[in-house]
Amino acid sequence: MGREAAREAGQEMDRRENAELRAAFEALLDAGPEPPLPSVTDAAVAGGRRIRRRRTAVALAGALVVAVCGVTTAVNVADSRPDPVQQPLAPPTPAQEPTEVPTPVATPEPAPG
């Protein structure tokens, strides 16, 4: 009968624990109404708006960078081209060699005598 007594004691403990657990759950349920759950749809819609705004901002920033690069490139290319109004340079003329002018050379005069 030792076994029988142990089994009854275990069952009595389970009943007591069950009663305590039931009382704890009832206290939670009697505490007040449950808080309302937030709408999952509203959160998803708000998140979608944020994503669209972010994408729009990134696209505008990218377009601005491309426009600035295009303008910068156009200005640099325009500066490197020759001015179409400017007259073309005349072909170079060969340099004239200086003409040698004979310089009078003093000739010694014969000595008298």
For residue 82, the model assigns a pLDDT of: 63
Q: What mean pLDDT is predicted for residues 65-92?
A: 78
Q: Give buried/exposed letters for 8-36 (b at 16+ CB in 10 A, else e).
A: eeeeeeeeeeeeeeeeeeeeeeeeeeeee
Per-residue pLDDT band for 30 (boundaries 50, 70, 90) equals confident
Q: What mean pLDDT is predicted for residues 64-85?
A: 84
Max Cα–Cα distance, the chain, nearest Å: 180
Q: How many helices (H) and strands (E) does the chain have?
A: 2, 0
Angle 104-107-109 from CA coordinates, rounded to 5°:
145
Per-residue pLDDT band for 87 (boundaries 50, 70, 90) equals low
For residue 50, the model assigns a pLDDT of: 93
Per-residue pLDDT band for 66 (boundaries 50, 70, 90) equals very high
